[in-house]
Amino acid sequence: MDKIAVVILNWNGVKLLEQFLPSVVQFSEGAQIYVADNASTDDSINFIRQNFPTIKIVENSGNYGFAKGYNDALQSINAKIYALVNSDIEVTRNWLNPILETFDTEKQTAIIQPKILDFKNKEYFEYAGGAGGFIDKFGFPFCRGRIFDTIEKDNGQYDDNCELFWASGACFFIRSEVYHELGGFDESFFAHQEEIDLCWRAANEGHIIKYNSASTVYHVGGATLQQGNPKKTYLNFRNSLLMLVKNLPKKRMFFVIFFRMVLDGIAGIRFLTQGKFQHTFAILKAHFSFYCISLKYLRERKDFQIQQYYTVKSIVFLYYIKKLTVFKEIFNSNQNIKN
């Protein structure tokens, strides 16, 4: 059994592999590197075999997205720790050692995220993860270093090790035994927010999620599905509702979901006023899909969900109404924090 397996999910990403595999190979001493390929039709497989013969390839039989793509591939990878790494990630020297040290010394820690900075603007945090994720009372995720469209410059303000609510799937370390005990990612999600759902389920089982700033990676972001793509809007809105049905404490579940759907409607109207009709339609489609499968999720809910899952009451209110745009501004105002 390998101590750590670095697993990169790929679909028709030969250009990204050409650009980013060299740093992974150079700085991942002691790790076995895998590429989990989602039935690519480009030259990805031949490129890896010809240029990186030490990398092992797991060939999935179809393009199963992030969730099932990893679930299928990891069935055949035998390692104590999985490092799930996007194909558009540049890693840095010594990126693995601080993570492995934390796993070795903190047995309850099951999931770890490194510091994720923007590959295109390396002084700033990256949109998809920053310095670790949290969630508000209504299920809106946000990060240290990035709240909605405000992205902070990295001035060392998050050079620490702290507990999180969720770790970014862009670069996601997890104990393999925990991954399999939880059943891996929810394949109904396909892509987007499946890592938050997995972290929430891990927290419900008493596991700890952490951030370790001593490990740094750089992420391009949107290389597979860009931020303005209506499909991303659809997946984000649908999956956020599914995640709430699965994981919210029962006593507040219906209120929170109703309120979220109202806010989704407001977002749809906002897209309309901006002329982004495809995004409004994507929200409507997301809600219809949610209605069709929510009963299945209600039946599969576990009896126990953590009661105090959120960090602030409403990140939407704090950001758009109170104009608190930086994580530390919010947490310097004590009334915003949960009791």
Q: What is the pLDDT of residues 196-247, one digit of tens each?
A: 999 999 999 999 999 999 999 999 986 555 667 899 999 999 999 999 999 9
Q: Which of 168, 192, 219 is the last residue of a domain?
A: 219
Q: Domain containing 18 — which CATH number?
A: 3.90.550.10
Q: Specify the number of domains making up the chain.
A: 2
Q: Are residues 151 and 176 in the same domain?
A: yes
Least confident of 68-72, 150-154, 248-252: 248-252
pLDDT of 226: 60
Based on the fold, state whether residues 19 and 98 are members of the same structural domain.
yes
Q: Is it the case that residue 335 has pLDDT exceeding 90?
A: no
Does 322 map to a domain? no
Q: Do 29 and 58 fall within a single domain?
A: yes
Same domain, 125 and 33: yes
Q: Are 304 and 247 in contact (CB under 8 A)?
A: no
Q: Is residue 278 located within the same domain as residue 195?
A: no
Same domain, yes or no, for 17 and 130?
Answer: yes
Quote the pLDDT of residue 223.
Answer: 55
CA 81 – CA 301 distance, rounded (Å): 27
Asked whether residue 171 falls in the same domain as residue 85, the answer is yes
Write the single-letter amino acid at 292: C
Are 152 and 195 within one domain? yes
Domain contains 184: yes
Q: Which of 178, 193, 219 is the last residue of a domain?
A: 219
Q: What residue spans of the chain are helical by DSSP H?
A: 14-27, 44-51, 65-74, 97-105, 176-181, 194-204, 230-247, 250-273, 277-300, 315-316, 327-331
Same structural domain for residues 295 and 191? no
Task: Answer yes or no: is 110 within a domain.
Answer: yes
Residue 110 has pLDDT above 60, yes or no: yes
Indicate whether 195 and 243 sit together in one domain: no
pLDDT of residue 280: 96
178 in a domain, yes or no? Answer: yes
pLDDT at 9 exceeding the cut of 70: yes
Read off the pTM.
Answer: 0.93
Distance set, CA 15 to CA 19, 87, 170 (Å): 6, 10, 18
330 within 8 A of 312, measured Cβ to Cβ: yes
Same domain, yes or no, for 87 and 213? yes
**Above 60 in pLDDT, residue 323?**
yes
In what helix (H) or strand (E) does residue 82 lie, and over which residues does it extend?
A: strand 79-85
pLDDT tens column, 294-321: 988 888 787 777 877 898 999 999 999 9
- pLDDT over 90 percentage in the chain: 86
The pLDDT value given to residue 120: 95
Domain interval for residue 254 = 230-305
Within-domain flag for 74? yes
Given 160, 189, 219, the domain boundary residue is: 219
Residue 146, C-beta contacts closer than 8 angstroms, at least 6 positions apart = 125, 126, 127, 129, 130, 152
For residues 106 and 82, membership in a common domain is answered with yes
Mean pLDDT across the chain: 93
Tell me, yes or no, whether 255 lies in a domain: yes
In a domain, 117, yes or no: yes
